[in-house]
Amino acid sequence: MERTVVVQIALFGLLLALASTLPNKDDWDVYSFHINSTVTSRYATTVITSRVANRMDESKEIEFHVRIPKNAFISKFRMFIDGQVYDGVVKAKEQAQQQYTEAVSRGESAGLVSSVGRTLEEFKTSVTVAAHKKVTFELTYEELMKRTHGKYELQIHARPMQPVRDFKVDVYIHEEAGISFIDVKGGLSTKDLANAITKTHADKQAWVYFYPTVDQQKMCDSCGDQGMNGDLVIVYDVNRDNGLGHIKKSDGYFVHHFAPSDLPRIPKNVVFVIDQSGSMHGRKIEQTRIALLHILNDLAEDDHFGLITFDDRISYWKRELVQANSKNLESAKNFARNIQDRGSTDINEAVLQGARMLNAHNREGSASILILLTDGDPTSGVTNLEKIQSNVRQAIAGKFPLYCLGFGFDVNFNFLEKMSLQNNGVARRIYEDSDADLQLKGFYEEVATPLLTDVTMIYVGGTNLTQTNFSHYYNGSEIVVAGEITDNNIETFTPQVVAISSNRRITFSNPNETVESTGTVSDDHIQRVWAYLTVKQLLDKELQLSGPEKEKVKKEALELSLKYSFVTPLTSMVVTKPLGETTDVLHKPKEGERSQTRPPSRGHPILRQPTGASGSGFRSTGSFPHQRYKHRQYTPFRGYSARMPDYSDYEFFLPTVSAPMETTDAPLLHRFLLKAEKQTIPVCFDVSGAVLLKLLHHPSGELYVNGELDSVTNGGFNKIVIHFKTDQHVEIDTKGVTVRDGQAVTHHTGQDITTAGSVTVIVRNKEIDIGAGDMRLVILVHEKNGQKFLWPVLRQHPSANNTQGLLALEPIVYEEVHQVPVTKLTIKNQEIDVTSDSTVDYTLVSPPTMPCWLMSAESALQRPVTDFYVAQL
Q: What 8-state DSSP symbol labels residue 869?
A: B
Q: Tell which positions 263-322 bind ligand NAG, by CB under 6 A.
A: 264-265
Three-class secondary structure of residue 206 per DSSP: strand
456 sits near ligand NAG (criterion: CB under 6 A): yes
200 sits near ligand NAG (criterion: CB under 6 A): no
The minimum distance between CB 36 and ligand NAG, in angstroms, equals 4
The minimum distance between CB 458 and ligand NAG, in angstroms, equals 9
Pick one of 475, 568, 614, 714: the residue that binds ligand NAG (CB under 6 A): 475
Other Cβ atoms less than 10 A from the Cβ of 485: the count is 21
**CA dist 354 to 366, 401, 474, 480, 540, Å?**
17, 12, 21, 30, 24
Residue 452 half-sphere exposure toward CB, CA atoms < 13 A:
26
Q: How many residues of this chain bind ligand NAG (CB under 6 A)?
A: 22
Q: Tell which positions 540-599 bind ligand NAG, by CB under 6 A.
A: none
Q: Tell which positions 494-533 bind ligand NAG, by CB under 6 A.
A: 510, 512
Residue among 497 and 794 whose Cβ is closer to ligand NAG: 497
In contact, 690 and 717? CB cutoff 8 Å: no
Residue 413 half-sphere exposure toward CB, CA atoms < 13 A:
18
Q: Tell which positions 757-816 bind ligand NAG, by CB under 6 A.
A: 801
Beta bridge mates, 824: 833
- 412-438 b/e with 16+ CB inside 10 Å = b? bbbbbbbbbbbbbbbbbbbbbbebbbb
680 sits near ligand NAG (criterion: CB under 6 A): no
Other Cβ atoms less than 10 A from the Cβ of 517: the count is 7
The minimum distance between CB 244 and ligand NAG, in angstroms, equals 7
Other Cβ atoms less than 10 A from the Cβ of 577: the count is 17
Pick one of 11, 16, 17, 38: the residue that binds ligand NAG (CB under 6 A): 38
The minimum distance between CB 51 and ligand NAG, in angstroms, equals 13
> At 309, which helix (H) or strand (E)?
strand 304-310
For every residue of 553-595, DSSP letters joined together read HHHHHHHHHHHTT-B-TTEEEEEEPSTTS-EEEEEPPPTTSPP
How many Å is the Cα radius of gyration of the chain?
30
> At 854, which helix (H) or strand (E)?
strand 849-854
Quote the distance between the C-alpha of residue 284 and its chain's center. 30
Q: What 8-state DSSP symbol labels residue 660?
A: P
The minimum distance between CB 571 and ligand NAG, in angstroms, equals 17
Pick one of 102, 108, 203, 241: the residue that binds ligand NAG (CB under 6 A): 241
Residue among 381 and 450 whose Cβ is closer to ligand NAG: 450
180 sits near ligand NAG (criterion: CB under 6 A): no
d(CA 368, CA 817): 50
Residue among 842, 841, 867, 863 at smallest CA distance from 852: 841
The minimum distance between CB 91 and ligand NAG, in angstroms, equals 20
643 sits near ligand NAG (criterion: CB under 6 A): yes
Q: Tell which positions 127-156 bind ligand NAG, by CB under 6 A.
A: 150
Q: Which residues contact 793 (CB under 8 A, 6 or more apart)?
A: 198, 635, 636, 777, 778, 779, 780, 843
For every residue of 265-284, DSSP letters joined together read PPPEEEEEEEE-SGGGTTHH
Residue among 325 and 700 whose Cβ is closer to ligand NAG: 700
Segment contacting ligand NAG by CB under 6 A, of 223-231, 259-267, 580-588, 712-720: 259-267
In contact, 561 and 75? CB cutoff 8 Å: no
Pick one of 40, 344, 449, 595: the residue that binds ligand NAG (CB under 6 A): 449
Segment contacting ligand NAG by CB under 6 A, of 126-134, 257-265, 323-331, 703-711: 257-265
The minimum distance between CB 139 and ligand NAG, in angstroms, equals 13
The minimum distance between CB 523 and ligand NAG, in angstroms, equals 12
Residue among 245 and 376 whose Cβ is closer to ligand NAG: 245
Residue among 711 and 802 whose Cβ is closer to ligand NAG: 802
Pick one of 7, 17, 36, 335: the residue that binds ligand NAG (CB under 6 A): 36
Residue among 389 and 453 whose Cβ is closer to ligand NAG: 453
Residue among 829, 821, 828, 823 at smallest CA distance from 854: 823
Residue among 449 and 466 whose Cβ is closer to ligand NAG: 449
Residue among 63 and 183 whose Cβ is closer to ligand NAG: 183
The minimum distance between CB 401 and ligand NAG, in angstroms, equals 14
In contact, 81 and 52? CB cutoff 8 Å: no
**CA dist 667 to 4, 661, 717, 787, Å?**
78, 10, 15, 18
Pick one of 59, 95, 297, 464: the residue that binds ligand NAG (CB under 6 A): 464
Residue among 2 and 646 whose Cβ is closer to ligand NAG: 646
The minimum distance between CB 484 and ligand NAG, in angstroms, equals 6
469 sits near ligand NAG (criterion: CB under 6 A): yes
Chain positions contacting ligand NAG, by CB under 6 A: 36, 38, 150, 170, 241, 243, 261, 264-265, 449, 456, 463-464, 469, 475-476, 484, 510, 512, 643, 645, 801
